[in-house]
Amino acid sequence: MFPSSAVLFLAGLASAMPQLKRATDFFDPNANGGSMLDDSTGGFGALGYLGEPLNVIISGQSSPGVLTDDGFLTYIQSIGFSFECLGLHLGGPQSANLGDGNGWVNQTAEYRQDYGSPDLGTCLESLIGGNHLRVFRQNGPQADSGALFLAVSKEEPVTEQHTIVPDGYNIGRDLLVGNAVGTTSREGFTYQTTLQNLTGLLPAGDANVNHDIATDGVTALLTVTIV
């Protein structure tokens, strides 16, 4: 048995050590029965279901502090998104199967464009439309990358039932990437974000895509480092 003083010393030493980054960016959901489309119609992968493209991935090799729920919220607040209006969510959650052994799992959270006000700006987005995203975490026993898969799209105002604008999946992805790449900061944290555009994960076109809106088949891989 260690004396209590030694236990306290070792615990303090462990907490002071930096968290190690994951070994991989992500695992391809398609390779293990998953999909790069979420399920937006409640079919849970059944034949004929429609989904939104998971068109942005936050790499598992990002700083560990970015990949937690609280850390990711702080990060996206640095790029113009925040929690939903007054913390309220309308509509049912969507699910995704990331090929990690967890099957179809509901979104971790949904965030909206904040129009410059992280506290109340998403209420404006709920009214007039704008960019928004859903988050899914790849952390199952068969593919535990820790990566965050995002379904990003630009939507119409509430008067149009928040449907997706024409070309809204590509537009939403590109707006998020444009705000993210480079250096941003929030609540004392500074982030450096780099981009790699990937093809071959998502098919181009509108097959099984919700609202019959075609995508260009590009997935943006973002690696976010706290500097």
- DSSP for 6-58 reads HHHHHHHHHHHSPPPPPS-S---GGGGT--SB-BSSS-TT-TT--B-B--EEE
Within a domain: residue 8? no
Burial of 200 (0-12, 13-18, 19+ CB in 10 A): exposed
- Which tokens in the block code for residue 2? 């260690």
Q: Is residue 19 part of a domain?
A: no
Is residue 43 a contact partner of residue 104, using CB atoms and an 8 Å limit? no
For the segment 9-24, the average pLDDT, to the nearest whole number, is 54
214, part of any domain: yes
Q: In the chain, how many domains are there?
A: 1
Residue 76, pLDDT > 70, answer: yes
In a domain, 15, yes or no: no
Q: Is residue 154 part of a domain?
A: yes
Structure tokens at 204: 């181009």
Mean local confidence (pLDDT), 69-75: 97
pLDDT of residue 12: 44
In a domain, 130, yes or no: yes
Average per-residue pLDDT in the chain?
A: 88
- CA nearest neighbour of 111 among 61, 152, 57: 152
Determine the average pLDDT of the residues in 167-183.
Answer: 98
- Is the confidence at residue 111, as pLDDT, over 60? yes
Q: Phi first, then psi: what are they for 5, rounded to 5°? A: -65, -35
Mean pLDDT across the stretch 95-106?
96
Q: What is the pLDDT of residue 25?
A: 98
Domain containing residue 168: 35-226
d(CA 139, CA 142): 8
| Structure confidence at residue 49 (pLDDT) | 76
Question: CA neighbours within 13 Å on the CB side: how many for 73?
Answer: 12
On whether residue 22 sits in a domain, the answer given is no
Between the alpha carbon of residue 147 and those of residues 25, 91, 126, 144, the distances in Å are: 7, 25, 27, 8
In a domain, 178, yes or no: yes
